[in-house]
Structure 1
């Protein structure tokens, strides 16, 4: 009876006039933050936290969860239309979404991406409700050296997926990004590394200037410098067609949702890794791998279901252990505390209604997100009809503003230019940018956990061979590397020929 009362109370808050207004406005602002390069979900939640200071606790939580869901979902539109992920979580979506836009299927890609986002979020909400204790216990089993292997695993996967047949370039790109993440104060002894006396580098390299430079600059320069502007047109699509694609991909969305949720539940991994691993899993299962990278809509489904399912996954450790699963979840945790809620082991005894608030608010925000995102796409898809030489300078200005507003530092704009030049060079030499970005995202996680593990075990590398989890990840990483060698491909070809005979 208490559970039903809590659910009814949550619905009464969300469906009140103020609740509906907060839902719509928060999701809409979140979508805008997600669509604009440089304005991330973390920034959206952080900015709204201050604005909700005088709100009642439940209404504030409703607004914060709504803007979080909207921001993660909105990133797919700029990824599909411009090949510039609005948030790092949408980087995998750009791999298939932008080629579809070039084929005139931007509207269909956005519809499918938004639908996958909706179902991925719902899957994660179900897991929040029923599987929080189990998944939290599993995530806690990861020791420091296993977190290091998980970070390496993410970089290797990303390198394999984005290399266009040359995985070595993908791995080089990823590990250069990992090395770049070492700039600044290291997290154990706070010792400055590679700062060269520059105080601005003491805090490390900001993620947003890197993301904007690596992904935004090549697109801007390529569009402006091209002699002949390639106009991308958008063909009409039917809702029935989009729903049939979602129906055909039901197992893809379910698996991607569970994978993304699992990645989100591991502290420090986040939505971007959830999207990439879901994308990889579907690509490995696909019977037409040759279509991937050229506009395979199944890849859009997997990436969007995975990164949105990580939202619920990231909230699982927040609710049960007060440990954020991502940077956005960390800001959410601070907001929960500010509004009088104390996530952690005592949550269900102190404020048992809070879990049901989160479940109901996230469910309603997901429904509003799908409706609003499709409404916005009717206007955002018109970006395709604008001459790129007119559009790209506007995108460039947004990139500069996005780099600046995070920390209000001119230095971040300079960083954006530096990494923009690096992005152009990488594009010219056909080095993928996504592994580089993921290397910077996971770099601190890899560094901190490896060094902590070695300190705790007096530098003994034998710890990597003492637990099943670490052995599993090492074997998986080895397989991913070996499977890209010529020896392995020749062996597989011989087996296929033998089976045909």
Structure 2
């Protein structure tokens, strides 16, 4: 513990330079603007910023990306409160009470609540990031090829199950991503797969152009198709967060922070699920249930705390397992690999200082959003009035330039355009994008560890089902799939209801039988 505090202090000191602070402030502001503009997601922001940080030192580049990530998740609350449109999917739950407060003339108070919840949520997640990463890093040392294979499958399955309304569509998107990851030369013998004679495909599909297309160009097409909404620009009340709002709902803040961090650790789930889960938990525990959806301070606080706590939580599996906890974290993982950082089970052995560098980056980003939330709210609101017809061409140009800058290949621009069109069509068909991204990121992990495991066992599949951790992951995957099949779901619900009723009956004290006295 003491060593961790020393390393954290060293990380803070290393970032206390004018250049680094300027990087953090500018990146957080860019992220906030991206998050505030409807249709521009945190994933797109981190992907575009990654292409612009290729020449920077690794720590500076990762700091810029984390500040962009945190700023974008926070910035989504601006349009959620003023437009009733979530700036990012993570802010969808904030629309319910944030917009209701704005319609009551309390837009300033709503944004103050969002600011305090975002900062406190990031701090709670940051605390877990500092304490859980070393523990999970040690546990991850027990993972071999067999366990990493099932972990990759688990990430795709659970992501498909928890994102979107139809698990089957989520799984289809996830396994489409896994298929895309197999294009190119395989890892052991360099044999071409699914290249169809095109030499440009031999190196595989580059991750960043694919992500820039799926989240950048696809967003451009989506936003340009939809009609803009009017902004509520009533006179603002005070935007300074009220101490009473924080102290009154301290239980909600802690609960939402823990829930958000926990959901962030689950591979591929993301901030939107964290926000809705925190909101639902707050509503169940609240004494003011009837206020939720009508301008509840507690509801808005829960949603904003939960989605922002998910950001540090989603970085935990990135550092310990090299498995992203969310779509933006997937881009962050790719950026770390590009800049020579090797996340995974050995990170606490090879680069323990880097873990606390990331914790310090989260702290700096949270301070930056606090500063902007208290000082620039009125100015940032004006950004929402910028016509989308002016913003989208700029985003498209950045998508093209960013895709080309990675390897100076025109082919990467074609990859970006292709994935942008595919992403747009998938969204129109209500397919979630997070499983697709996670499938592309985890495909390499799954493929290499499947082949490595088969080589180690001479083609025997038995070790995949007999090692303890492998068995647990396999059973979790099987249970997740079976519980989404109606017959098994109804059976499980029936068994659970019967077991619960039996347990309650067993807990009741036995009533003595009354007998009529004999005459």
TM-score by length of 1: 0.71
The count of aligned residue pairs is: 454
RMSD after superposition: 4.8
The one-character-per-residue Cα deviations of 1:263-296 (angstroms, maximum 9, x if unpaired) are 6xxxxx7xx56758857975996877xx99xxx8
TM-score by length of 2: 0.69
Corresponding residue for 2:71?
A: 74
Q: Give the alignment of 1:232-381 within 5 angstroms.
A: 233=232, 239-240=241-242, 243=246, 248-257=252-261, 260=264, 298=302, 301-311=305-315, 314-315=318-319, 326-330=333-337, 345=349, 358=357, 361-362=360-361, 364-372=363-371, 374=373, 379-381=379-381
Superposition deviation, residue 199 in structure 1:
2.8
Q: Give the alignment of 1:436-475 within 5 angstroms.
A: 436-475=436-475
1:163 to 1:409, Cα distance in 2 relative to 1, 3 A? same
Superposition deviation, residue 428 in structure 1:
3.0
Corresponding residue for 1:186?
A: 186
1:157 pairs with 2:158: yes
Superposition deviation, residue 462 in structure 1:
1.2
The answer on whether the counterparts of 1:109 and 1:300 sit within 8 Å (CA) in structure 2 is no
1:12 to 1:188, Cα distance in 2 relative to 1, 3 A? closer
Q: Give the alignment of 1:54-203 within 5 angstroms.
A: 63=60, 66-76=63-73, 93=90, 96=93, 118-119=119-120, 122-123=123-124, 126=127, 133-164=134-165, 166-203=166-203
Superposition deviation, residue 114 in structure 1:
6.5
Whole-Å separation in 2 of the counterparts to 1:427 and 1:7: 42
1:413 to 1:102, Cα distance in 2 relative to 1, 3 A? farther
Task: Name the SS for the 2:484 alignment partner.
Answer: coil
The answer on whether the counterparts of 1:66 and 1:361 sit within 8 Å (CA) in structure 2 is no
The answer on whether the counterparts of 1:69 and 1:311 sit within 8 Å (CA) in structure 2 is no
1:27 to 1:184, Cα distance in 2 relative to 1, 3 A? farther
Whole-Å separation in 2 of the counterparts to 1:487 and 1:419: 36
Corresponding residue for 2:325?
A: none
Corresponding residue for 1:339?
A: none
Q: Give the alignment of 1:372-451 within 5 angstroms.
A: 372=371, 374=373, 379-451=379-451
Whole-Å separation in 2 of the counterparts to 1:399 and 1:356: 30
Whole-Å separation in 2 of the counterparts to 1:281 and 1:140: 31
Q: Max radius of gyration: which structure?
A: 2
Q: Which moved more, 1:362-371 or 1:490-499?
A: 490-499
Superposition deviation, residue 302 in structure 1:
3.5
Superposition deviation, residue 367 in structure 1:
4.3
Structure 1: tracts of 5 or more residues without a match = 53-59, 84-89, 264-268, 319-324, 337-341, 349-353
Corresponding residue for 1:483?
A: 483
1:450 to 1:102, Cα distance in 2 relative to 1, 3 A? farther
The answer on whether the counterparts of 1:183 and 1:205 sit within 8 Å (CA) in structure 2 is yes
Superposition deviation, residue 200 in structure 1:
2.3
1:485 to 1:316, Cα distance in 2 relative to 1, 3 A? closer
Superposition deviation, residue 78 in structure 1:
7.1
Superposition deviation, residue 195 in structure 1:
1.8
The answer on whether the counterparts of 1:81 and 1:98 sit within 8 Å (CA) in structure 2 is no
The one-character-per-residue Cα deviations of 1:170-204 (angstroms, maximum 9, x if unpaired) are 11111111101111222222222222232322222
The answer on whether the counterparts of 1:33 and 1:39 sit within 8 Å (CA) in structure 2 is no
The answer on whether the counterparts of 1:31 and 1:74 sit within 8 Å (CA) in structure 2 is yes
Q: Which moved more, 1:177-186 or 1:188-197?
A: 188-197
Whole-Å separation in 1 of the counterparts to 2:447 and 2:249: 41
Structure 2: tracts of 5 or more residues without a match = 35-39, 81-86, 285-291, 294-298, 323-331, 506-519
Corresponding residue for 1:28?
A: 26
Whole-Å separation in 2 of the counterparts to 1:150 and 1:280: 25
1:343 to 1:159, Cα distance in 2 relative to 1, 3 A? closer
The answer on whether the counterparts of 1:259 and 1:278 sit within 8 Å (CA) in structure 2 is yes
